[in-house]
């Protein structure tokens, strides 16, 4: 069965990402077309990139990189949950992405973002990164506003329309992950 990792891309204390990631997971696990798992960057304790060789060489020497690579390799596609910090994604998510190369290739990715303007600028940066990593980014994305989808900017209460958008995003991630399976088999 197709396996999709839902990556929580913030490690900041008091983050909104854990609640958003849990919501994505709760909606996703009601589906029967794929297996979904939460992947929380907090659990990996990745330092600032500390591998001597470029990730494209696949010569990982650090135990934390090897564990991270194994986890990412186990999935056929991803949903990245990202905050928007300073008109971009979080440093923690960018660092985690940069640790690897081949493990991302020929897989699909969708985005769930949050911020003052829905995190859309963070996703635009992630789409550029995805292209370089041979990740096929799907068009649909969930953009959660801190003003309308959170109470007091911290209690997650998504509008009812967001679930439909998430369902469309998940539909696309699962379909594209399946479509790219022959490329991953090579």
Contacts of 36 (CB under 8 A, 6+ apart): 3, 4, 5, 6, 25, 28, 29
- Band (pLDDT 50/70/90 cuts) for residue 79 is very high
Q: Is 146 helix (H, G, I), strand (E, B) or coil?
A: coil
**Three-state secondary structure call for residue 133:** coil
pLDDT band, residue 174 (cuts 50/70/90): very high
pLDDT of residue 68: 98
- For 91-126, the DSSP string reads HHHHHHHHT-STTTTTEEEEEEEEETTTTHHHHHHH
As a whole number, mean pLDDT of residues 125-137 equals 98
pLDDT over 90 (residue 97): yes
pLDDT on residue 25: 98
Name the region of 140 (left: φ>0; alpha: ψ -120 to 50; beta: rest).
beta
Q: State the pLDDT at residue 28.
A: 98
If one compares 70 and 186, the residue with the highest pLDDT of the two is: 70
Across 37-62, average pLDDT: 97
pLDDT band at 149 (very low <50, low <70, confident <90, very high): very high
Q: What is the pTM of this model?
A: 0.97
Which tens digit of pLDDT belongs to each residue from 3-32?
Answer: 999 999 999 999 999 999 999 999 999 999
Q: How high is the mean pLDDT of the chain?
A: 97
pLDDT at 168 over 90: yes
Q: What is the pLDDT of residue 186?
A: 79
């Amino acid at each position: 069965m197709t396996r999709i990792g839902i990556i929580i891309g913030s490690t900041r204390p008091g983050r909104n990402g854990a609640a958003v990631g849990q919501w994505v997971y709760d909606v996703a696990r009601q589906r029967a077309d794929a297996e979904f798992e939460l992947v929380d960057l907090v659990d990996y304790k990745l330092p600032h990139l500390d591998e001597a060789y470029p990730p494209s060489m696949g010569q990982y020497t650090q135990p934390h990189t090897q564990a991270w690579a194994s986890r990412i390799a186990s999935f056929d596609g991803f949903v990245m949950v990202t905050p928007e910090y300073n008109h971009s994604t979080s440093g923690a998510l960018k660092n985690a992405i940069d640790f690897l190369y081949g493990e991302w290739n020929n897989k699909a990715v969708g985005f769930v973002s949050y911020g003052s303007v829905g995190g859309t600028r963070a996703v635009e940066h992630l789409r550029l990164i995805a292209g370089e990593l041979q990740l096929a980014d799907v068009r649909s994305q969930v953009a959660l506003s801190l003003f309308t989808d959170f109470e007091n900017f911290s209690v997650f209460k998504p509008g009812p329309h967001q679930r439909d958008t998430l369902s469309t995003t998940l539909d696309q991630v699962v379909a594209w992950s399946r479509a790219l399976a022959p490329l991953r088999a090579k």
